């Protein structure tokens, strides 16, 4: 079984995300490329109106980069933490054009929340 942040975990996440009702509601209009960076290792997902268009390693051409340590991601995935909470606490960094981050905040939030549905499939180390 794959573990976070392996590419196989992100592929499973992409499949689960497309069936997540919150993602389908709040991200049905979102188009963008979001990189998830964990301790220098990254995976990028492409989003197109409520669908995941690709999953690939690296962060080339990412419009948004959500960056944090493994410990911070672990808290986000396995504890009662939200992207907003860890971002406001300065524990996680979100990069991109500030106006685009603000405009697409709800989508970014629900994309991150959707990770929790796959988190049990990724082992806590």
Q: What is the DSSP letter of 115?
A: G
Q: pLDDT class for 2, splitting at 50, 70, 90?
A: confident
In this structure, is residue 86 part of a structural domain? Answer: yes
In this structure, is residue 124 part of a structural domain? Answer: no
Burial 38-74 (b: 16+ CB within 10 A, else e): beeebbbbbbeebbbeebbeebeebbbbbbbeeebbb
In this structure, is residue 123 part of a structural domain? Answer: no
For 95, the domain range is: 7-116
Residues 6+ apart with CB under 8 A from 81: 75
Q: pTM of the full predicted structure?
A: 0.91
User: For residue 43, what are its two tokens?
Assistant: 């995976």
Q: What span, in angstroms and rounded, lies between the C-alpha atoms of 12 and 30?
A: 20
Give residue-wise pLDDT tens across range 33-69: 999 999 989 999 999 998 999 999 999 999 999 999 9
**The pLDDT of residue 123:** 43
Indicate which CATH number applies to the domain containing 75: 3.30.1050.10
Give residue-wise pLDDT tens across range 64-102: 999 999 999 999 999 889 999 999 999 999 999 999 999
**The pLDDT of residue 109:** 95
Instruction: Please say if the pLDDT value at position 125 is more than 50.
Output: no
Q: Residue 5: is the preceding peptide bond cis (ω within 30°)?
A: yes
Instruction: Please say if the pLDDT value at position 14 is more than 50.
Output: yes
In this structure, is residue 25 part of a structural domain? Answer: yes
Of residues 62 and 125, more confidently modeled: 62
In this structure, is residue 18 part of a structural domain? Answer: yes
Q: What span, in angstroms and rounded, lies between the C-alpha atoms of 113 and 107?
A: 10
**The pLDDT of residue 1:** 53
The count of structural domains within the chain is 1
């Amino acid at each position: 079984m794959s573990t976070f942040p392996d590419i196989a975990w992100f592929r499973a996440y992409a499949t689960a995300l497309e069936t997540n009702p919150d993602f389908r509601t709040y991200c049905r209009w979102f188009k963008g490329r979001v990189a998830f960076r964990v301790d220098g290792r990254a995976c990028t997902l492409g989003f197109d109106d409520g669908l995941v268009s690709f999953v690939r390693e690296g962060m080339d051409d990412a419009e948004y980069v959500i960056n944090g340590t493994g410990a911070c991601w672990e808290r986000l995935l396995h504890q009662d933490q939200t992207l907003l909470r860890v971002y406001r606490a300065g524990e996680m960094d979100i990069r991109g054009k500030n106006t685009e981050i603000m405009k697409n905040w709800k989508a970014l939030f629900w994309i991150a929340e959707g990770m929790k549905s796959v988190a049990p499939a990724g082992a806590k180390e």
